[in-house]
Structure 1
Amino acid sequence: MSVHFPWLPAGQAVPVGVSLKTQYFDHVLEKRPQLGFFEVHAENYMSSGGAHHRYLEAICEHYALSLHGVGMSLGSAEGLDPAHVQRFSALVNRYNPALVSEHLAWSVRGGTYLNDLLPLPMTQESLQVVADNVNRLQDSIGRAILVENPSSYLSFRSSEMNELEFLHALCERSGCGLLLDVNNVFVSASNMGFDASRYLADVPASLIGELHLAGHLLRDIGGTPLRIDDHGSPVADEVWHLYKTLIARVGPKPTLIEWDTNIPTFDILEQEAEKAASFMAYGAHANV
């Protein structure tokens, strides 16, 4: 499976985007910042009308859109919620986003939605559950999705493979691609004790459809450092280094600056996006 970008005009640079928050609606329409795309969380737009849709429709006249789901619960053994799938599919049909993605996680039990992205054991049984759910979602929206690697804080004794093996097998079994979150890799590696550089070096470039960059929180828990994926600060230097090394190997990929808490002024996001673009230009040169 190889991810392509048919939404990019021939010769156009691979874009960098940022999270679109309500605080930025007017600024984006008035100033038209030099960005390639914006990402929104699907669940924030699952009503049929209202100001959110009016703004997003206006913004999408000028920018590509990445539709990022946070509540599909691809890891749910009980299957996907038909109503949620229908609402998600309606959004895809309405906006025809350039990128569509969801998380490798579960967050629904018995019709109750939990306010978290919970982990799942990396087993053959879990793999089949997730692949079946991904296939169902893809059949509903009529296109392949990208699945995002999680940020990890614990492991399961029952796991039969590592995370990257699981994701690679999922892509082969379902035809999906990867939304590779570099910050999540760094957070998980720090918390779980594996080598983030080795992880990223082993990701097949052909599977990567999008990259995410974000900040995280460092906490001291009884003398043990714990990194928490909170999307509330600038991208850490260590994550920039991993990104630069990755881009030098795999080439330019659509890259998003995520920022979901402690929302900054828009110029801060633009500075982060400019930094990503400069590293991507370096990566393009390195791959010539």
Structure 2
Amino acid sequence: MKVAVVVDSTSYLSEKILAEHNIFTIPLNVVVGDKTFKENEIDNKWYYAEMAALEELPTTSQPSIGDYILLLESLYREGYTDVISFHLSAGISGTCQNARAAAASVDGINVHVVDSEIAAAPLGFLALYAAQNLASKPLQEVLADVNDMKKKHSMNAFFLVDTLTNLQKGGRLSNAQAFIGGLLKIKPILEFQEGKIVAIEKIRTQKKAMLKIEEMLQAEFDKHEGKELTACVIHANAEELGARYKMELEEKFPQVKFVMQEFGPVVGTHLGEGALGIGFTTYKVDVTGL
């Protein structure tokens, strides 16, 4: 048995870490004006500048079934018998659906599609855990572990956005109507619930929202006292803000290993420039180079 780990581009794992752990990636697409780009082939700063200059939001789309088939056929030729394929939540994207359709079209290779029910760093945590444990654990045990990781007691994420406008326009916010009245006056805190993005708090200022997230993290971390926790601060073209928040969190939670990451074009389109995310896992994952 030879097992490949695949993850879509919304994990935002660095090229370095993908190569080091032999993780294959399949990119989602963004459409800017009349041009379509694979999201892992464009510069983030260029993209955020283009998005800010456009009157209409860019659109995003899942990888085509044909792209998946080409990847799976390539892995089959390389001798892989099985693939664990990790993807952003099926509640906000058709990526998982296309992965399953492609898997059914390729003979000779067993594809285990995992709906992460989340995105960004936590999606990357799942792929990294699998890649780092397949040599020491049987495939079925790794699959059981990643399915356990997906549960809220083992992994979660909170997001802070400047405005709900992008999520509203893209149809990615499941309870948008409840928040419409104060769109321009609040800093909403979001969470994935059952694979969908839900606004859970209305906060008046960014600083208060960041402190509220710290309270929620404290409650989460208290449940896992003594465990080796890993967390990631994720920013949308707001590196200075992200670095400052990471330092604050490191001071408050010295028991947690923090790293930093940037939202790429697909997730950045929907959360909007300036968004922050905090994702964590209780499973042991080496995030060096994330």
Q: TM-score, normalised by structure 2?
A: 0.34
Q: Relative CO higher for 1 or 2, CA cutoff 8 Å, sep ≥ 6?
A: 2
Write 1 or 2 for the structure with the bigger share of strand: 2
